Structures are given as structure tokens and as C-alpha cells.
Structure 1
Amino acid sequence: MDVKTEIIDILKDVTGLDNVGADPDEDLFADGILDSMATVEVLVTLQDKFDIEVPVSEFDRSQWSSVNKIADRVGELEN
């Protein structure tokens, strides 16, 4: 399973929405898919799944606002 598919699965689990990820560039915050509580849950799950660290103090919403952006950040943090 590729990273984007895993991210979409995580987003579906957290949000309960089946259509998440249909557009990998959709702004998840602007479109009301992620709120602050869901964001924390997604980040914790991403950290566990991909063995990465996302310091809350360095979290910039604009860098995590779409499936493609999340995949990019995960890739950067895995290296």
C-alpha cells in the first residue's frame, strides 16, 4: 500500500467520511473535513504508522492541508 492510500485510510477512519481523498489537493481544513481535534488524531496516527515525529510547536496547518501535502511532509520526516 502506498503512502497516499494509507493517509486516505487514516483520514477516512478519523473523519468517518468515505469520500476523503477523491481530490488529493482538496483543502481539508477549508472544506471542514478536519478540525483541531481530528487533526490531533490524524497526527498521532501518522506518527505511529510511519514512525515519525511531528512536534506540535512546528505544526503549520498550511503544510498539512491536503492529502498530497500530508504525503510530502510524511516523506520528508521519514528521511
Structure 2
Amino acid sequence: MDIENTVLDILTDLTGNDDLKDTMDLDLFETGILDSMATVQMLLELQGQLDIEVPVSEFERTEWATPNKIIAKVKELQ
């Protein structure tokens, strides 16, 4: 399974932003693209589609702030 495309598809579905592939280091929280509710949805989708566990107690926003960081964290958790 292609982790990068799966993550980008999930983010695109959640945010409606089709340009994320061009802005892989954009801070999704600072720009308001991701809020707390969308973050929870993202984590649930990642868990469902990629079969990873992301304990909320271990969620550090700065480690999940950009598409590149999200992809790196998912790869780390697999």
C-alpha cells in the first residue's frame, strides 16, 4: 500500500484542499487547514485504512503538523 498517497487522499478528503501535494511542508494547524475535529477524523481514517494505532495520549501536534511529518509518523508506526 502506498502510504504517501493514502495519507494525501485522507487529508484531501478531510480538508477539501487538492494542493497538498505541492505544499508537503505546509503547517496544517497554523494555516487552519486542520482543526482538532479534523485531526481526530484523520487519525481514525489512518487507523482504519493503514491499520496503525495512534494513541491520543502520545499525539504531539508538532510531529503531525505537515503532510511530510504525517507520512513519516505513519511509516514509523507501521
* Alignment TM-score, normalising by the size of structure 1: 0.91
Counterpart Cα distance in 1 of 2:28 and 2:21:
9
Match of 1:44 in 2: 44
Paired residue type of 2:41: E
Counterparts in 2 of 1:1-79, with a 5 A limit? 2-78=2-78
Counterpart-to-counterpart distance in 2, 1:62 and 1:13: 22
> Match of 1:21, SS?
helix
When normalised by structure 2's length, the TM-score is 0.92
**How big is each residue's C-alpha offset from its partner over 1:6-42, in whole Å with a ceiling of 9 and x where there is no partner?**
1111001011222223211111101111000000000
Q: Which runs of 5+ in 1 are unaligned?
A: none
CA RMSD of aligned residues (A): 1.1
The amino acid that maps onto 2:43 is L
> Mind listing any 5+ residue stretches in structure 2 that lack a counterpart?
none
Count of residues in correspondence between the two structures: 78
Query: How many percent identity over aligned positions?
Result: 54
